[in-house]
């Protein structure tokens, strides 16, 4: 389905007036700047992996999720 094209000023006015804007959005092409994943390789000692796995099991999430959550806590402690 082709979306209706409008100028940025028109879009802003529609949004600012509290009107529905979804008909002007192409959600399939939306991007989240700064949130695109980048692969990072990190080597951990075996005991750390064991502890990470234990914590992941306790929380019911993956090891990777534990690592990402803990690192995000350290980088942005006020976002808790």
CATH number of the domain within which 66 lies? 1.10.1220
pTM: 0.57
Same domain, yes or no: 42 and 22: no
Same domain, yes or no: 56 and 77: yes
pLDDT for 4 beyond 90? no
pLDDT for 73 beyond 90? yes
CA 51/CA 54 separation, integer angstroms: 5
Short-list 21, 18, 34, CA closest to 72 = 34
| pLDDT value of residue 14 | 94
Contact criterion met (CB below 8 Å) for 11 and 31: no
| pLDDT value of residue 1 | 56
Contact criterion met (CB below 8 Å) for 80 and 73: yes
CA 74/CA 61 separation, integer angstroms: 19
Question: Lowest-pLDDT range, 12-16, 28-32, 57-61?
Answer: 28-32
pLDDT for 41 beyond 90? yes
Same domain, yes or no: 52 and 20: no
pLDDT for 18 beyond 90? yes
Mean pLDDT to the nearest integer, 62-67:
97
Reduced to 3 states (helix: H, G, I; strand: E, B; else coil), residue 15 is helix
Same domain, yes or no: 21 and 54: no
Domain that holds residue 66: 34-80
């Amino acid at each position: 389905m082709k979306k209706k094209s409008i100028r940025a000023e028109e879009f802003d006015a529609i949004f600012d007036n509290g009107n529905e804007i979804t008909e002007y959005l192409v959600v399939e092409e939306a991007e989240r700047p700064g949130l695109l994943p980048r692969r990072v390789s990190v080597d951990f000692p075996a005991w750390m992996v064991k502890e990470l796995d234990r914590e992941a099991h306790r929380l019911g999430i993956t090891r990777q999720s534990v690592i990402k959550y803990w690192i995000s806590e350290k980088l942005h402690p006020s976002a808790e």
